[in-house]
Chain A
């Protein structure tokens, strides 16, 4: 099955409050992004997890209805705002451990909260799409192709890899190019899906 077409429906499927499978898939897809962004905002792992919980909670309220609200803009901006709100909310909680978020960082979060996304977010968001695309590739490409690509990612020279797999450097290059092309296609699909009105 082409994962493009199934992915394309996740954000719309997740609107159905009865579709628990879609919600689980949604959580699976985005939780890493949320935690990583929090960590890049210098939250401790434990606090990042707390924030993730808060984010999922408000998303479950916000998304899981059939109401479309175009004023939210793109999902990526909506998600970023939700996370930043959660960070602020978490740090403001009376029983929040001291030092969960240092003041300077909090100020940064607050300052960035102008409807625009920040650079940290943009980086995490792009990494997120790379990871999704890589996962699809790992699931759908011939395992030997994936192994070749992984060796290249590890920094092994093309010649070595070709020798190891008893093939030509040309073939190895072709694998890399194929995966690169496919990743671009996938990322483009993923973003197009994400940019559907929410």
Chain B
């Protein structure tokens, strides 16, 4: 077989192809030998001649600024790269000025990974720049060149980190590249990268008049695909080191995935629009070798807002190296879960399934900030940015070191492959931090904050509060009162208070957190919005629905603009807003909102996340109140199963879901079953949460109501009394929850049919409850109706005007769930 037969083309005989095109002169009629000479001469490399004294060897590349040739130096015969500014109608004097500055700046940079500039000469009015000749390939092609397939992720990252080092070196000397792209980065045979063309660099010095003048023009310099949003917008004054961080992000994206974040074969306008507005795909969605941490690093570098990027290239390089070392990266949302998961993976602790589940819990806790010393968003000066981030990184590394030592210390104790629970690790961390007296206050604050938030995530409120208190105190000492770190500890503390039902304290710390965030952060910042949403939930718990709604709407507005529609924080606030409708008794509306949010919530948080739980739970509660019992019960059973698996039996969430299912049974009329379930959950709630928590009170109310319905008035009355006291203490005298307890007590007293004094007490209670309901609830609310019915029973029909026809008398407590008792303890992600 002829091995060349598979070539394309046809066997059609010479000269018979139908066409009118005139090929005379082309030489197709010549004999083979002569015809081949014609082809040879056509393909011959164009003779370039020389420029000035340099003999041109070949053209290497051409760009917006000029053409680069490989050339030979006349005396040394050394091969160099010669860059020539393209003149003509495009070459404004401005371009020329830029070129001359390039020479000055570039020759001041001296780094093994930055191409050396030998000098420049002006030839016939045209400047040329002589540079070190690098025999290498463009970094994107290097990353995808295949001697043995593609480069590994690790190889790519290692070279990338070296590139970052070189760029950082220039930044430290006040030089920003502004035109980083693969054609400006060559990798030689020893896999060493070399950066070319610090040609658009702008000197950061404020008094550089020339630089200021050059950047006044709004014309766009640079390759669009690698240009940052601020460059694309023509905001040259906003261009700083973080524009290079962005370009490096694009380059890393391309090196890892083989494509650009926004493919540049679309037209220019679309590309620029995408750079300004579109979120890039996550690298891991394009290449299965990549994971979420890579995503976090790349996407942080690609943030539209410079303030959300790495503040320095050094920071980017550090994260890449952390990733390579298997350490937590700062770009990843700094949840404790993530951190511990990293640590466990790194140290291969014998964490077994049970503790792995417990680890998940930690993610539900508020992520304190050990790695997330976000930069002051107002800042522009790169140098300042750098020193702040350096300091933050220092703290983060010390926190890292602390927990790392801790986990290493835990290891030998567990040599037998026994489980180490998160609780144990935490307790150990807690006692270790007590022992240390050499920790800097900001480091100890960060560690305590983490420990406290993690305890809170585990439902261990006492240690959570203690550590957060200390963290707060230390953060105040280290940073002053008005600092983001202080605000974050306040917020964590507020979450603990809310779970404990200490609404007054929660309100205070939330308020302070909010006012700090508002002072320190730029308007519309998501931390401000989240703080506002926290206040809103608190307002709702105080039944100030209008304030709650207003705050939530404004928070949702900010979050949507800042983070987008389907971001977790936005969804969390929308879930809270649905509850406003529930609280107002607009159950259909609330149910409709929750149903439509549910898929996005599952998608954004994952099905096992506490937020997904909450959404489902709240929907179930509403369905129950709409008497859609079967559907509601299905949700509850799923919730309980998941909660036991993930949180364990004694977690407030688990208790809450069990209480809710019990109250469903009660509402449906399965009283025996309901009573058994309520007793069990009441005992556990009292033990775990104490008497005074909202959950315990709501269980208490429901149990009392069930008992009342089963003719066990004495016990019911006793429980209701405790409930009234507890509700007054927790919510105040005029809160609907208090009114529910009072109403329940009133009904129970009437039904016990005892003494006249009890009737008088019942009358007083029902009157008070009705008064509260009349201000807080709409006219047709069942609570109002049922309370009137109670009074009517008491007085006889003539004593009440306008009473509706009697309906079947349910226990009013069946519906109390609609009034906040099932309010989840908050927004654990905040």
Q: Which A residues contact B (CB, under 8 angstroms)?
A: 18-21, 32, 35-36, 39, 44-46, 49-51, 53-54, 57, 90, 95, 97-100, 122, 126-131, 134, 140-142, 144-145, 148, 152-153, 167, 171, 174-185, 187-188, 191-192, 195
Q: Is the CB of B28 within 8 A of A175?
A: no
Interchain CB contact (< 8 A) of A130 among B9, B42, B126: B42
Give complex CA distance A95, B27 in Å: 42
Q: Is the CB of B4 within 8 A of A142?
A: yes
Q: In angstroms, how far is the closest chain B Cβ from the Cβ of A65?
A: 15
Which chain B residue has the least Cβ–Cβ distance from A193?
B21
Query: What 0/1 readout, one digit per residue, does chain B (17-56) give for beta carbons within 8 Å of chain A?
Result: 1011111011110001001101111110011111100001
CB-CB < 8 A to A180: which residues of B? 14, 28, 32, 35
CB-CB < 8 A to A51: which residues of B? 88
Q: In angstroms, how far is the closest chain A Cβ from the Cβ of B120?
A: 15
Q: Does B289 contact A (CB under 8 A)?
A: no
Q: Is the CB of A140 within 8 A of B86?
A: no
Q: In angstroms, how far is the closest chain B Cβ from the Cβ of A98?
A: 8
Q: Is the CB of A126 within 8 A of B6?
A: no
Q: Is the CB of B88 within 8 A of A153?
A: no
Interchain CB contact (< 8 A) of B43 among A21, A90, A131: A131
* CB pairs A–B below 8 angstroms (7 shown): A19-B267, A45-B50, A126-B25, A142-B4, A148-B4, A191-B21, A191-B22
Q: Does B809 contact A (CB under 8 A)?
A: no
A130 in contact with B39 given A46-B84, A182-B8 (CB within 8 Å): yes
Q: Does B757 contact A (CB under 8 A)?
A: no
Q: Does B146 contact A (CB under 8 A)?
A: no
Q: Is the CB of A140 within 8 A of B8?
A: yes
Q: In angstroms, how far is the closest chain B Cβ from the Cβ of A159?
A: 15
Q: In angstroms, how far is the closest chain A Cβ from the Cβ of B825?
A: 55
* B residues 34-81 touching A (CB-CB < 8 Å): 35-36, 38-43, 46-51, 56, 67
Give complex CA distance A188, B40 in Å: 19
Q: Is the CB of A174 within 8 A of B4?
A: yes
Going nearest first, the 4 A-B pairs with the smallest beta carbon separation are: A97-B124, A127-B42, A130-B42, A53-B88
CB-CB < 8 A to B10: which residues of A? 181
Q: Is the CB of A142 within 8 A of B90?
A: no
Q: In angstroms, how far is the closest chain A Cβ from the Cβ of B1?
A: 10
Q: In angstroms, how far is the closest chain B Cβ from the Cβ of A56?
A: 9
A127 in contact with B41 given A178-B9, A187-B23, A188-B21 (CB within 8 Å): yes
Q: Does B123 contact A (CB under 8 A)?
A: yes
Give complex CA distance A98, B12 in Å: 55
CB-CB < 8 A to A126: which residues of B? 25-27, 42
Q: Is the CB of B43 within 8 A of A57?
A: no
Q: Does B7 contact A (CB under 8 A)?
A: yes
Q: Which B residues contact A (CB, under 8 angstroms)?
A: 2-4, 6-12, 14, 17, 19-23, 25-28, 32, 35-36, 38-43, 46-51, 56, 67, 84, 86-90, 123-126, 265-269
Q: Is the CB of A187 within 8 A of B26?
A: yes
Q: Is the CB of A54 within 8 A of B42?
A: no
Which chain A residue has the least Cβ–Cβ distance from B124?
A97
Most chain A CB inside 10 Å of its own CB: which residue of B10, B22, B43, B123:
B43
Q: Is the CB of B7 within 8 A of A57?
A: no
Q: In angstroms, how far is the closest chain A Cβ from the Cβ of B64?
A: 11
A45 in contact with B90 given A35-B46, A174-B2, A184-B28 (CB within 8 Å): no
Q: In angstroms, how far is the closest chain B Cβ from the Cβ of A160?
A: 15
Q: In angstroms, how far is the closest chain B Cβ from the Cβ of A196?
A: 12
Interchain CB contact (< 8 A) of B90 among A57, A98, A128, A171: A57
Give complex CA distance A183, B87 in Å: 37
Give complex CA distance A21, B56 in Å: 30
A145 in contact with B4 given A45-B49, A50-B87, A57-B90 (CB within 8 Å): yes
Q: Is the CB of A192 within 8 A of B36?
A: no
Q: In angstroms, how far is the closest chain A Cβ from the Cβ of B464?
A: 57
CB-CB < 8 A to B126: which residues of A? 46, 97
Q: Is the CB of A130 within 8 A of B21?
A: no
Interchain CB contact (< 8 A) of A192 among B9, B11, B12, B21: B21
Q: In angstroms, how far is the closest chain A Cβ from the Cβ of B28?
A: 5
CB-CB < 8 A to A182: which residues of B? 8-9
Q: In angstroms, how far is the closest chain A Cβ from the Cβ of B128?
A: 9
CB-CB < 8 A to A21: which residues of B? 265-267
CB-CB < 8 A to A184: which residues of B? 14, 17, 23, 26, 28
CB-CB < 8 A to B25: which residues of A? 122, 126
Q: In angstroms, how far is the closest chain A Cβ from the Cβ of B123?
A: 7
CB-CB < 8 A to A44: which residues of B? 49, 51
CB-CB < 8 A to A46: which residues of B? 51, 84, 87, 123-124, 126
Q: Is the CB of A39 within 8 A of B267?
A: no
Give complex CA distance A122, B25 in Å: 9
Task: A46-B126, A178-B7 are known; give 20 further A-B pairs, CB within 8 A.
Answer: A18-B269, A20-B268, A39-B46, A46-B51, A46-B124, A97-B125, A97-B126, A126-B27, A130-B43, A134-B39, A144-B4, A145-B4, A145-B7, A152-B36, A167-B3, A167-B4, A171-B2, A175-B7, A183-B28, A185-B9
Give complex CA distance A127, B25 in Å: 11
Q: Is the CB of A188 within 8 A of B17?
A: yes
Q: Is the CB of B32 within 8 A of A176?
A: yes
CB-CB < 8 A to B7: which residues of A? 141-142, 145, 175, 178
Most chain B CB inside 10 Å of its own CB: which residue of A19, A98, A130, A174:
A130
A144 in contact with B46 given A45-B51, A57-B89, A127-B41 (CB within 8 Å): no
Interchain CB contact (< 8 A) of A167 among B2, B28, B268: B2
CB-CB < 8 A to A128: which residues of B? 42
CB-CB < 8 A to A178: which residues of B? 4, 7, 9, 11
Which chain A residue has the least Cβ–Cβ distance from B271?
A20
Q: In angstroms, how far is the closest chain B Cβ from the Cβ of A176?
A: 7
Give complex CA distance A100, B125 in Å: 11
Q: In angstroms, how far is the closest chain B Cβ from the Cβ of A184?
A: 5
Q: Is the CB of A45 within 8 A of B48?
A: yes
A20 in contact with B46 given A53-B86, A141-B8, A195-B21 (CB within 8 Å): no
Give complex CA distance A90, B23 in Å: 33
Q: Is the CB of B4 within 8 A of A49?
A: no
Give complex CA distance A128, B40 in Å: 12
Q: Is the CB of B19 within 8 A of A192?
A: yes
Which chain A residue has the least Cβ–Cβ distance from B44?
A127
CB-CB < 8 A to A36: which residues of B? 46
CB-CB < 8 A to B86: which residues of A? 49-50, 53
Q: Is the CB of A153 within 8 A of B40?
A: yes
Q: Is the CB of B21 within 8 A of A50?
A: no
Q: Is the CB of A134 within 8 A of B43?
A: yes
Which chain A residue has the least Cβ–Cβ distance from B51?
A46
CB-CB < 8 A to A20: which residues of B? 267-268
Give complex CA distance A122, B584 in Å: 86
Q: Is the CB of B89 within 8 A of A188?
A: no
Give complex CA distance A45, B52 in Å: 11
Give complex CA distance A51, B88 in Å: 7
Q: Is the CB of A54 within 8 A of B89?
A: yes
A39 in contact with B12 given A90-B88, A167-B3 (CB within 8 Å): no
Give complex CA distance A19, B267 in Å: 5
Give complex CA distance A122, B42 in Å: 12
Which chain B residue has the least Cβ–Cβ distance from A140?
B8
Q: Is the CB of B49 within 8 A of A39?
A: yes
CB-CB < 8 A to B23: which residues of A? 184, 187-188, 191
Q: In angstroms, how far is the closest chain A Cβ from the Cβ of B655?
A: 62
CB-CB < 8 A to B41: which residues of A? 127
Give complex CA distance A20, B503 in Å: 61
CB-CB < 8 A to B67: which residues of A? 49
Interchain CB contact (< 8 A) of A50 among B40, B88, B269: B88
Q: In angstroms, how far is the closest chain B Cβ from the Cβ of A26?
A: 14
Most chain B CB inside 10 Å of its own CB: which residue of A46, A50, A134, A180:
A46
Q: In angstroms, how far is the closest chain B Cβ from the Cβ of A76?
A: 11
A39 in contact with B47 given A20-B267, A176-B32 (CB within 8 Å): yes
Which chain A residue has the least Cβ–Cβ distance from B269?
A18
Give complex CA distance A134, B35 in Å: 13
CB-CB < 8 A to A145: which residues of B? 4, 7
